[in-house]
């Protein structure tokens, strides 16, 4: 069972890497490095061209993550099929990855429409959440569940994380849209947009500033979460970690976002911006899942033993 739990955590890490590779594809303009799908210029092996190699690497990493997701679901069924909190997210991840692959194909076939690219990114975040749910549920089962004395505190923190995630989803989607539509560079300067607080009639500038204003608004539920998690640090062993990690990641994310604008979105900063967003998303997801599991998962549940082979 430890190997199964480790596999779930490895799949989370691989999903994070995949998100980073996907953003690098977008940052380098390699999205159509392979203009067909699932082949690349009609073959399995890409031509020795930079954009084709970058896009093919993205596809190979995505295929590897898909294999990890399927393997996690198989092992969850074998060792945790009596634990719905483990089994259902593990199984749900399989069709989600299939849908993600289909959206990736449509992205290529339709030549990178910004709306689909943004949806592709947000669905990757959803897969990250589902895999985190699987890994954390396995961990809780092995550790015997959340002690009753911690459940109310965990749920208070979890509720705030859920609120933050809802708003963060909008920030992520608009950010993905900006990256592909060209709206990232619509505003010169930071925090103002070309010297103004409110943009003019330019649609790209409006979308860009909506992203910034929503990111600023996100600070409200995040502060609400950080304060609650910090107050419960004596009750929840993970409360202090959630509070510190959330604060550091949000601050770093804002700083990297500003540097992106000031330095006209170099590849390294663009990738870092999205990877930090993914880590913040994962932190909020973990807090939300731990809070939810405090209400929904009974402690001291025994995982199902694997079925014995017939004699």
The tokens of 128 are what? 């990250």
**pLDDT averaged per 10 residues in sequence order, the chain, 311 residues:** 86 96 95 94 92 96 97 94 92 97 95 94 97 89 65 91 97 95 90 84 89 97 96 90 97 96 94 97 95 63 45 41
Query: What are residue 193's phi and psi, to 5 degrees?
Result: -105, 100
Whole-number pLDDT of residue 145: 60
Picking from 146, 132, 148, 144, the residue whose alpha carbon sits closest to that of residue 303 is 144
Handedness of CA 283, 287, 289, 293 (dihedral sign): positive
- pTM for the whole thing? 0.91
- By the 8 A CB rule, do 195 and 205 touch? no
CA dist 129 → 50, 80, 148 (Å):
32, 19, 25
d(CA 6, CA 302): 18
Whole-number pLDDT of residue 141: 66
- By the 8 A CB rule, do 305 and 82 touch? no
Q: Which residues contact 143 (CB under 8 A, 6 or more apart)?
A: none
Looking at residue 297, what DSSP letter applies?
-
Looking at residue 193, what DSSP letter applies?
B
Picking from 186, 164, 183, the residue whose alpha carbon sits closest to that of residue 253 is 164
Whole-number pLDDT of residue 195: 86
d(CA 88, CA 110): 33
Count of Cβ atoms closer than 10 Å to residue 278 Cβ: 23
Residue with the two structure tokens 């994070």: 16
- By the 8 A CB rule, do 116 and 110 touch? yes
């Amino acid at each position: 069972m430890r190997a199964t739990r480790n596999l779930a955590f490895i799949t989370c890490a691989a999903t994070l890497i995949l998100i980073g590779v996907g953003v690098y594809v977008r940052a380098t303009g390699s999205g159509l490095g392979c203009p067909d799908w699932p082949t690349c210029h009609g073959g399995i092996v890409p031509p020795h061209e930079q954009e084709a190699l970058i896009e093919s690497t993205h596809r190979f990493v995505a295929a590897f993550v898909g294999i990890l997701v399927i393997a996690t679901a198989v092992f969850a069924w074998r060792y945790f099929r009596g634990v719905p909190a483990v089994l259902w997210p593990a199984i749900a991840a399989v069709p989600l990855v299939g849908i993600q692959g289909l959206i990736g194909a449509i992205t290529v076939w339709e030549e990178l429409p910004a709306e689909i690219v943004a949806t592709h990114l947000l669905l990757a975040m959803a897969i990250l959440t589902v895999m985190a749910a699987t890994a954390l549920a396995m961990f809780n089962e092995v550790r015997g569940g959340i002690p009753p004395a911690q459940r109310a505190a965990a749920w208070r923190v979890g509720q705030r994380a859920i609120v933050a995630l809802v708003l963060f989803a909008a920030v992520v989607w608009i950010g993905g849209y900006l990256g592909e539509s060209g709206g990232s560079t619509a505003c010169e300067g930071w925090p103002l947009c070309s010297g103004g607080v409110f943009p003019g009639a330019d649609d790209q500038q409006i979308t860009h500033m909506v992203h910034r204003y929503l990111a600023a608004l996100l600070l409200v539920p995040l502060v609400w979460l950080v304060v609650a998690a910090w107050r419960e640090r004596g009750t929840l062993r993970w409360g202090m970690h959630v509070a510190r990690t959330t604060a550091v990641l949000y601050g770093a994310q804002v700083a990297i976002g500003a540097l992106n604008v000031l330095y006209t979105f170099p590849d390294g900063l663009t990738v870092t911006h999205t990877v930090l967003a993914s880590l913040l998303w994962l932190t909020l997801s973990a807090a939300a899942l731990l809070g939810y599991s405090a209400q929904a998962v009974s402690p001291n549940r025994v995982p199902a033993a694997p079925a014995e082979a017939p004699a």
